[in-house]
Amino acid sequence: MSRRASAAALAACGLLTLAACGEEADPDDRNEVSAKLADPDGKKVGTVEIEEDDGATQINVRVSGLSAGYHGFHVHTTGKCEADSAAPDDSSKTGDFLSAGGHLNPDDSAHGEHLGDLPALLVNEDGTGSLEFTGPFTLTDLRDADGSAVMIHAGPDNYANVPERYAPEGPDEDTTKTGDAGDRIACAVIEAG
Ligand SMILES: [Cu+2]
Ligand SMILES: [Zn+2]
């Protein structure tokens, strides 16, 4: 594009909203999302990048300043990361990032098979961690009408894998919903598409 033509495109751009302008300038933008992971105080603790290419969705996450060990890691249903907020389906429950709802679960499965169940995030002794994997969902699944949220928990996730000798009746509802990964310590908003 000549310098004059790109200046004209830029001027036309100014007349549109920024979002519409971005789409027009680079249609491939829609296949990639980058979101900030923040703690309940709003402090950045990492970045999550999600890229869809040829039907495969690659997720790349990097964190720092977290406690060492395995952390439960999921996509939750709603793109709202509010500290000390109420759960969308039960306003009597409040806590950090409860605004994001439960695990992304369009098929009504039990925990361990939720669409939003991700591999555990391992944080090293120095507080940093990174993870790259192929997800089972598409960007369209994540960018539905209310968006979604990528969540890191305080503790490890048991994927509802509780041996029968400990729970002859099977795991309870908490476990089959959450994997007992504990408090929500970092959250990233994936905006609606
Ligand atoms: Cu979660
Ligand atoms: Zn789950």
Q: pLDDT band at residue 23, thresholds of 50, 70 and 90?
A: very low
Kindly list the distances between the CA atom of residue 184 and the CA atoms of 20, 31, 78, 81, 120, in Å, as whole numbers in the listed order.
Answer: 34, 27, 14, 10, 14
Q: How far is the CA of 26 from the centre of ligand 1 (A)?
A: 32
Distance 76 CA to ligand 1 centre (A): 6
Cα 188 to middle of ligand 1, angstroms: 11
Q: With 60 as the cut, is the pLDDT of residue 121 above it? A: yes
Contact 185, 40 (CB under 8 A): yes
Q: Which fold does the domain 26-190 belong to in CATH?
A: Immunoglobulin-like (2.60.40)
Q: How far is the CA of 178 from the centre of ligand 1 (A)?
A: 7
| pLDDT tens profile 39-79 | 999 999 999 999 998 879 999 999 999 999 999 999 999 99
> Please, which pLDDT band fits residue 177 given cuts at 50, 70 and 90?
very high
pLDDT-derived band at 1, boundaries 50, 70, 90: very low
> How remote is the CA of residue 111 from the centroid of ligand 2, in Å?
4
Kindly give the distance from the C-alpha atom of residue 56 to the centroid of ligand 1, in angstroms, as a whole number. 22
| Per-domain boundaries in the chain | 26-190
What is the full DSSP assignment across 28-81?
A: GGGGEEEEEEE-TTS-EEEEEEEEEETTEEEEEEEE-S--SEEE-EEEESSS--
Residue pair 170/111 in contact (Cβ under 8 Å)? The answer is: no
Q: Output the six-digit token pair for 71.
A: 């952390």
Reply yes or no on whether the pLDDT at 28 is more than 90.
no
